[in-house]
Structure 1
Amino acid sequence: MSSAKDIPQTQAMNNAVISGSPSNHHHFLIPSPIPTRRTRTFSQSERAKEGPTFKGKVREFCRQKGHGFIIPDHEKNPIFVHISDIEGEYVPKAGDEVTYKVILIPPKMEKRQAVHVKITHLAPGVSHEKWDSTPDLEAH
């Protein structure tokens, strides 16, 4: 049987978080499987740039959570979008028309993620905010 000394530090921290230890309640160290622009390899980004460009509409996007979903024009299944992959000066809102490229999300490479997302037409009648503005904490 292993003792607490034998557990690697990150696993011990994760166990403390899972067990509800108040001292580490906000330090969950399991890495996210979502490849952000910072963690994606250069080759993944370059392959995506060379791939086809798709069109769709933003179904939802939460600035505070840092992600949302796009409904492609050519199908019904939503595609995940991370905040680090949005280009331009405006925060996406539901109904905005966008163009994007697609990569597969590791490790199984079964789910897709929109990258190089650009808003091409702002949804009419929706109040849009710029990235450099203070976020509206109630809007999603």
Structure 2
Amino acid sequence: MSDTYTNEELDAARVAHHLSPSKMGLLAPSPIVTRRTRTDSTSALALRNPQVTGNVKYFCKSKGHGFITPDNGDADIFVHISDIEGEYVPLPGDRVRYRLCPVPPKLEKNQATHVEIINLTPQVHLRWDSPETN
């Protein structure tokens, strides 16, 4: 067997070594809570919270998340794509109604759930099944 390697083989070996499980250790679970990963008890907490309103500050369909600016002046609230109801992709400026859901494990922060667009901005809104445009 030859001890001579091509540059491509050496690069591939470096990448494989860098990404090997022994180098990465155990991976922590994602801190993003989605409708699918939310526990029943956390969902129940969200449903007990009143509906509040705000405006979409930012939303990216390809990244799957965005932020809502609450009407009460609190800090922006994270929203995951799985928590948006309705047929349109939200755009900045859309008025929304949502419930606050505590984020585990400490339940110190909140994210928006049961998000409904209640007033669309005049811009053209895409449906969820529409292809992304650049």
CA contact under 8 A between 2:46 and 2:102: conserved in structure 1? no
* Superimposed CA distance per residue, residues 81-109 of structure 1 (whole angstroms, 9 cap, x where no aligned partner): 00000000000100000000001112222
Letter paired with 2:112: A
Q: Please state how far the C-alpha of 1:38 moved relative to its aligned partner.
A: 0.3
Q: Distance in 2 between matches of 1:67 and 1:112?
A: 14
* Superimposed CA distance per residue, residues 45-85 of structure 1 (whole angstroms, 9 cap, x where no aligned partner): 23312320000000000001100000001114100000000
Matched, 1:105 2:103: yes
Q: Percent identity?
A: 54
Name the Cα RMSD after superposition.
2.2
Q: Distance in 2 between matches of 1:114 and 1:72?
A: 10
Extract structure 1 runs of 4+ deviating beyond 3 A.
19-22
Q: Please state how far the C-alpha of 1:20 moved relative to its aligned partner.
A: 4.0
Structure 1: 5+ residue stretches without partners: 1-15, 23-27
Select 2:60's aligned residue among 56, 59, 62: 62
The alignment's TM-score, normalised by the length of structure 1, stands at 0.74
Select 1:47's aligned residue among 45, 48, 62: 45
CA contact under 8 A between 1:90 and 1:129: conserved in structure 2? yes
Count of residue correspondences: 115
Inter-CA distance 63–20: structure 2 relative to 1 (3 Å threshold)? farther
The range that moved more, 106-115 or 54-63, is 106-115
The alignment's TM-score, normalised by the length of structure 2, stands at 0.77
